[in-house]
Structure 1
């Protein structure tokens, strides 16, 4: 009875509990509810032991949706020697007439669809890679908070018809001017002082996170890729590959992980949603807007980097210093990218294309050159025996 080769276990995970469904790898088998367990480490270890005892000759395959529970369940189950997969919720097939949704049905649906090979699994980063990604996202969140505080202060000035006497916004001279500013009402003065203090604190927070990110990334296993990507020229002091600053390079690699898992750059472009949508039938082929699927933050970082290719290609002194120590192959790829993308930007603009369309086309090719550079860099693999997984109790 329990001699199946594979057992599929669907997990509908929540913060407090997880609903289970078990499906045997047999013709005509239907998912069976396996109850609920608490969403913690001890409960999953006990569950794995129970299922292994019940199906001693079978291989256990756990499936759950990507969500706020992140990857710790995956890492725990794989560390116990079982197969675990995380699927993309947006790519789960759904019937148009299916109006009943429960935890039991969701768990059973995951097991059934995974057995039918109709689910798309996602890439799971290593804990060290995820930590760098969290730090990069924290810096971006701090930047957003800082911008929001600045916009609020500008709103106060606009409502009170206050003109700034300093052209260099948010410099030390501008901050001193803000502290000397006197508003007509005491309540407004309190609001002004609170906003100035908030902006000052958030500027320090951004500086701390940037410094910490620059320090931590040098100890990261993907730092050689980040350093190589910066071989492509930029227009600011912190840029190297054109349009790719250190922070942009770190953010892109941290979001995408190991680019070598894509055997062709077109697959990476499609993964980021930078390819046009298509609706073709017969002899008619219609292309629409980009799909915008995949990682939105990585796509936005590439769009930001593509803005700088409107300038002419050249090698600055600062870029030359960054390229020192890199292999000739990487330097040649970076120079080839500059020549092609700068020329392509101007050619598309002369054809009358909208600037957003041009920038998106450049971003699509940037990721192809980053893919090519990443394949020329040797990355030290993580030894599973020395990996330290910090799982929640």
Structure 2
């Protein structure tokens, strides 16, 4: 088996499918191994390229395979699908992975370190808690509205105790059973709000302990949440040739639909990590609001305010998020701190 060039692995929980090919693309073997046998099987192979789809557990296995001396590569699942021939099964999936890995044009997914995955896990749980808090608050408002009590939107109203006082005021009309339900929903919302604050404090502590995060937070619109999220997703910034490539990887550049020599640009592509894109847009919204309160402070502020006046607030926010993504790439790639340019005295 010294002539093995690429091994494609279809990952699973307990049973893994391997498909090995030589340098000419001819199949060497195709077999199934159990989870506890995978390390031993790969350790017996000569150093080669081991390809997998980027999925749950893929980054862990990529680090383990690299430690064995192999070259681990992760491929986007959507780029592997065209190479799966015939009806889908594990053997054909593994063969498709090996075939896609043989193509230099197939994009690769950067392998995350354990520290990146830990940061990513914190953000994923925080996002889930944020969704649950919003859903619980909306459910509470909806039930109150069903009985003629309208509550303003926003977390501040629920946090300040106005809703609890409103329930107490109308307790006799609403009835004890409904009031118990509403108070229970309010307690659930308060518990979620407290947990979210705990997560925000933890992420702020992580950001303060990281020099890279401190440099990122010198940029307008980038706080501890965005800084740690950028670190968890970007990894090594040098894998992107420039800031535009990083911005394109998270879907903040226009989607192109060109033909016949005519260029047509549409809305943003929305590819890549949706949470990072969403948080950058939130940061850009806050930065633009601050720029408009004290306009013409530096070149970025003047550009954003002029763009908002020309094309509208929403388009300007997305364009500013694109600009912030490029600035953050430059900060991490070159080890610099953001300095406002062209300030007006």
TM-score after normalising by structure 1:
0.76
Distance 1:376 1:364 in 2: 19
Contact kept? 1:31, 1:111, Cα under 8 Å: no
Equivalent residue runs for 1:1-393 within 5 Å: 2-4=1-3, 6-26=4-24, 29-39=25-35, 42-50=36-44, 52=45, 58-92=46-80, 94=82, 100-164=87-151, 168-174=156-162, 176-177=164-165, 180-181=168-169, 182=171, 184-219=174-209, 223-232=210-219, 241=220, 243-311=221-289, 313=291, 339-351=298-310, 353-377=311-335
**Secondary structure in structure 2 of the residue aligned to 1:244:** coil
Q: Which runs of 5+ in 2 are unaligned?
A: 337-345
What value does the CA root-mean-square deviation take over the aligned residues?
2.9
Contact kept? 1:32, 1:108, Cα under 8 Å: no
- Relative distance call for 1:60 and 1:287 in structure 2 (3 A) is same
- Relative distance call for 1:143 and 1:76 in structure 2 (3 A) is same
Question: How far off its partner does 1:307 sit?
Answer: 1.0
Distance 1:105 1:32 in 2: 14
**Secondary structure in structure 2 of the residue aligned to 1:292:** coil
Q: Which runs of 5+ in 1 are unaligned?
A: 53-57, 233-240, 317-335, 379-393
Contact kept? 1:132, 1:216, Cα under 8 Å: no
**Secondary structure in structure 2 of the residue aligned to 1:81:** coil
- Relative distance call for 1:308 and 1:197 in structure 2 (3 A) is closer
Distance 2:150 2:165 in 1: 11
Aligned residues: 333
Distance 1:107 1:259 in 2: 30
Distance 1:90 1:166 in 2: 39
Contact kept? 1:303, 1:359, Cα under 8 Å: yes
**Secondary structure in structure 1 of the residue aligned to 2:82:** coil
Distance 1:142 1:104 in 2: 39
- Relative distance call for 1:350 and 1:36 in structure 2 (3 A) is same
**Secondary structure in structure 2 of the residue aligned to 1:59:** coil
Q: Once the two structures are superposed, what CA deviation does each residue of 1:148-201 show, in whole Å capped at 9, x if it has no partner?
A: 111111011110111459995023443652563525233312211221221121
- Relative distance call for 1:310 and 1:217 in structure 2 (3 A) is closer
Distance 1:194 1:304 in 2: 31
Return the structure number with greater helix share.
Answer: 2
**Secondary structure in structure 2 of the residue aligned to 1:190:** helix
Contact kept? 1:23, 1:32, Cα under 8 Å: yes
- Relative distance call for 1:373 and 1:294 in structure 2 (3 A) is same
Distance 1:259 1:165 in 2: 43
